[in-house]
Amino acid sequence: MQNTQKQSYVLQVELLVENVNNAAALEQVIHALNAGGFVDYRILSGVQLGQVIDQRKADAAVQVPMEIDNNAPAQNEKQTQSNKSAANGKSAKDVQPVKAAKPKVVEPSLSDPYDGFADIRGFMKSNKLIRLIVNKGLGITLSIPCRILNVDDTTNMITVYHVDEKQVYTFKLNEIEDYKS
């Protein structure tokens, strides 16, 4: 007796895709999955690195952090003060050098209580279908039924999958006017 019914299997796969940017790589994967005839699929993440990437990073040249020389402005100020003191009859030894104030670097907090995109990150994690209202400027407004694939805080970009056109789009966060869930 032969069993002619198809059975379903869920497989977890990690892919390494080389392309010009993250959005193009996601689009390439989505096209391949759509053309593959799969019943369903879910893209869980687009930023986790695999072993090949880790190996390539290890093989790459070591990046040397660039140090800012705070003494350079102090030297210029010291020379200016010595010129002024010479005009006033004082020696350069009597003049105290002025230290340059270090600029304060404020790092954005990932758990900012006023983060306006917390809902969008929630939609991304739950893979929920939403409609984005995007203003591209010059009177062009788009209404896109989509799933959010990635939100990048460093570049203020959002990557979405347009469910009708089966395309991946990337927008700046400031272009998003509204969303409807």
- Cα 172 from chain centroid (whole Å): 11
Tokens describing residue 27: 């689009």
Give the pLDDT band of residue 159 (cuts 50, 70, 90). Answer: very high
Instruction: Domain 22-57+117-180: give its CATH code.
Output: 2.30.30.100
CA distance 52 to 60: 12
* Range in 30-34, 37-41, 149-153, 157-161 the model is least confident about: 37-41
Residue 18 confidence (pLDDT): 86
Q: Which amino acid is at 124?
A: M
Q: Which amino acid is at 107?
A: E
* Range in 28-32, 86-90, 152-156, 177-181 the model is least confident about: 86-90
